[in-house]
């Protein structure tokens, strides 16, 4: 008996087993009445309910406040947002203009050395979309953070 013959025997046995189990299953289903259609219906209903609940949740959070809002409220929020934007632009401008000094200490006029910025300083310069440098004076221990307009060819980071 070679291996090919064995595998053929096995596959024959397997298909017979499948046929038998299908037959037995079919007969069993005929004799019992499991309410499959009700189970499917319940499942679909459940999915539908869950979807509706989720939809309702998002509507109540993101859409309803805006629909119910009065026009004056909307206008007020708009003005606040615009003023905050302008404020940031103004702060940004101030920071740039005050940093166009030479690399000398504002207190003792010694030469400043560039040192590493910490995480918050990096975060601040990223938020303002400005390049920045952190400088330290060895003579009087003064240190200051300076901002520059982002210039692609200078790579100040």
Ranges within 20-49 binding Zn ion (CB under 5 A)? none
Cα 146 from Cα 117, distance rounded (Å)? 11
Report if residue 140 touches Zn ion, rule: CB under 5 A.
yes
Residue nearer to Zn ion on the CB measure, 14 or 111: 111
Contacts of 114 (CB under 8 A, 6+ apart): 133, 134, 135, 136
* Residues counted in the chain: 157
- Which helix (H) or strand (E) segment holds residue 29: the answer is helix 3-31
User: HEC string of 38-101?
Assistant: HHHHHHHHHHHHHHHHHHHHHHHHHHHHHHHCCHHHHHHHHHHHHHHHHHHHHHHHHHHHCCCC
Residue nearer to Zn ion on the CB measure, 10 or 139: 139
Of the residues 19, 50, 107, 115, which one makes contact with Zn ion according to CB under 5 A: 107
Residue nearer to Zn ion on the CB measure, 117 or 142: 142
Report if residue 143 touches Zn ion, rule: CB under 5 A.
no
Report if residue 139 touches Zn ion, rule: CB under 5 A.
yes
Of the residues 125, 137, 146, 147, which one makes contact with Zn ion according to CB under 5 A: 137
Report if residue 142 touches Zn ion, rule: CB under 5 A.
yes
Report if residue 115 touches Zn ion, rule: CB under 5 A.
no
Report if residue 95 touches Zn ion, rule: CB under 5 A.
no
Q: Contact residues for Zn ion (CB under 5 A)?
A: 105, 107-108, 110, 137, 139-140, 142
């Amino acid at each position: 008996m070679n291996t090919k013959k064995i595998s053929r025997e096995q596959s024959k046995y397997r298909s017979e087993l499948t046929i038998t189990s299908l037959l037995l299953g079919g007969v069993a289903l005929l004799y019992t009445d499991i309410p499959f259609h009700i189970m499917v219906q319940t499942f679909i209903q459940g999915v539908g309910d869950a979807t509706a609940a989720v939809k309702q949740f998002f509507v109540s959070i993101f859409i309803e406040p805006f629909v119910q809002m009065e026009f004056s409220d909307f206008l007020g929020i708009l003005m606040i947002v615009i003023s905050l934007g302008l404020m940031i632009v103004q702060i940004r401008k101030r920071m740039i203009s005050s940093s166009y000094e030479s690399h000398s200490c504002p207190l003792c006029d010694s030469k400043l050395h560039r040192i590493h910025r910490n995480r918050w300083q990096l975060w601040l310069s990223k938020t303002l979309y400005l390049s920045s440098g952190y400088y330290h004076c060895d003579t009087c221990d003064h240190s200051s953070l300076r901002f520059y307009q982002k210039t692609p060819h200078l790579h100040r980071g």
